[in-house]
A and B are shown apart, each in its own frame.
Chain A
Amino acid sequence: DGGITQSPKYLFRKEGQNVTLSCEQNLNHDAMYWYRQDPGQGLRLIYYSQIVNDFQKGDIAEGYSVSREKKESFPLTVTSAQKNPTAFYLCASSIIPGTEAFFGQGTRLTVV
């Protein structure tokens, strides 16, 4: 059953701690993306990767980091430098960059 798996679904973090969100896909897609969704703001691009071992900053990359060591995996680390990390995080992939993207079910991160 092909798809994109994000884990965990809910995540709580104390201020000052880094946390890593997992994203795995078995669709054999080249491109992967991380978006952040806040109420009333729509989806904002954090990072994207067009190929293994390569990634680019999106519109709101500050305070985040990513890696793309395997085609299937694109983890996102929310660092303590991110000033307002509480949000709904969405991972997506597309067969080639710039085509329709398919999304995971999201991770809701809450900083306590």
Chain B
Amino acid sequence: EDQVTQSPEALRLQEGESSSLNCSYTVSGLRGLFWYRQDPGKGPEFLFTLYSAGEEKEKERLKATLTKKESFLHITAPKPEDSATYLCAAPQGGSEKLVFGKGTKLTVNP
């Protein structure tokens, strides 16, 4: 069964303390890996799409990378406004459905 697993479930950082979030997947024939940011009570906001191993995408303090088995969302020198839940997703093998991980709740303390 295709799965997308995120770790850790929650991460608490001090402002300026860099770290990484993990998204591992077992989707066969990966056709894209998507990262989203979700603030409480709001819909997920699209961040990045990665298609092939070795690919990297950057946006402000965020950088997403992809290997053959997992993706990382690196957060460099985070600020309190980066606090949110980060979700990753991938299309299910042989289907057009997106499979989502349960997310990592990031809290950045000032």
> Which residues of A line the B interface, CB within 8 A?
4, 6, 31, 33, 35, 40-43, 45, 48, 50, 58, 88, 90, 92, 97-106, 108
Question: Is the interface on chain B under 10, 10 to 19, 20 to 34, or 35 or more residues?
Answer: 20 to 34
Among A31, A42, A50, A101, which residue has its beta carbon within 8 angstroms of that of B101?
Answer: A42
Among A6, A48, A106, which residue has its beta carbon within 8 angstroms of that of B41?
Answer: A106
Instruction: Please report which residues of chain B, range 60-91, place their CB below 8 angstroms from some CB of chain A when the two chains form the complex.
Output: 87, 89, 91
> Which residues of B line the A interface, CB within 8 A?
31-32, 34, 36, 41-46, 49, 87, 89, 91, 95-98, 100-103
What residue in chain B is nearest A4 (Cβ atoms)? B43
Q: Are A50 and B96 in contact (CB under 8 A)?
A: yes
B19, chain A: closest CB distance, angstroms: 21
